[in-house]
Amino acid sequence: MPRSGGVPLRVVSYNIHGQRDDTAALAAVVREAAPDVVIVQEGPRRLRWRAKSAALAASFGLVVAAGGLPSLGNLLLTSLRVRVTGTRCRRFPLTPGRHLRGAAYADCVVAGSARFTVAGSHLSTDPAERPGQAELFGRDLAAAPHPVIAGADLNEEPGGPAWTAVARGLTDAAVAADRGERFTYSCADPRRRLDALFVDPRITVVDYDVVDTPLTRRASDHFPVLVDLLLPTAG
């Protein structure tokens, strides 16, 4: 049932390191969190990416909403509680000699009346090309048809130009929960907050956590970001 003031939604944003670590631990981490939405960075993007994306989603107890190869490894997964009404993907312009990057978007509805757009991206490690990608991603978020929930590995810390471009007009969930000091990278030596979840100001941040456990330290090189939200309802 909706809580007073909104509809609850649990979201995880997670760079899964191309599933190169302990995949059983990865599945256990996400299943334990019991999210409605998972925003994946470094998901399947090459040979048999559809089957691999479906298998990853199934290991989490979720289904694929959008992403994969068309968004270059950004993947949006949802529980059956969430109905997806539209999807789209973007590839950022290629800088010669660098890796392609992209973003995935899905328009969703939960509890019959709470609509939102979920988005995910993984920006470049190159400080010269990252701000341009961030501007394109930020423009897409500003043009979204519903209140936005955006998860990303920005490869940059708060205050940088790319971070600022993506965050424009949105609420940083970590700051809203007074947990901006929680580092997300690396699991071996956590010193940087590279991973963020931003939400439309109409969405309430109820809780925020960077999940640091023995399982998460085995599952990837990034910690997952776990956020509880309250979504506004239509009317």
Q: What is the pLDDT of residues 185-222, one digit of tens each?
A: 999 999 999 999 999 999 999 999 999 999 999 999 99
pTM of the model: 0.96
Q: In the chain, what percentage of residues exceed pLDDT 90?
A: 93
Exposed / middle / buried, residue 175 (Cβ in 10 Å: 0-12, 13-18, 19+):
middle
| Dist CA 210 CA 192 (whole Å) | 12
Average pLDDT, the chain: 95
Per-residue pLDDT, averaged over 97-104, amounts to 86
pLDDT at 168: 97
pLDDT at 1: 39
Band of residue 97 on the pLDDT scale cut at 50, 70, 90? low
7-231: CATH topology: Deoxyribonuclease I; Chain A (3.60.10)
pLDDT at 2: 45
pLDDT at 67: 97
Residue ranges per domain, the chain?
7-231
**pLDDT tens-digit readout, 7-59:** 999 999 999 999 999 999 999 999 999 999 999 999 999 999 999 999 999 99
| Structure-token pair, residue 163 | 């971070």
- β-bridge partners, 195: 153
Exposed e or buried b for every residue in 16-51, given b needs 16+ CB within 10 A? bbebeebbebbbbbbeebebbbbbbbbbbbeeebee
Overall residue count recorded for the chain in this entry: 235
| Structure-token pair, residue 192 | 């940087």
| Structure-token pair, residue 226 | 């776990």
| Dist CA 91 CA 161 (whole Å) | 20
| Dist CA 104 CA 68 (whole Å) | 8
Per-residue pLDDT, averaged over 52-75, amounts to 97
Calculate ∠ Cα 50-53-58, nearest 5°.
Answer: 125
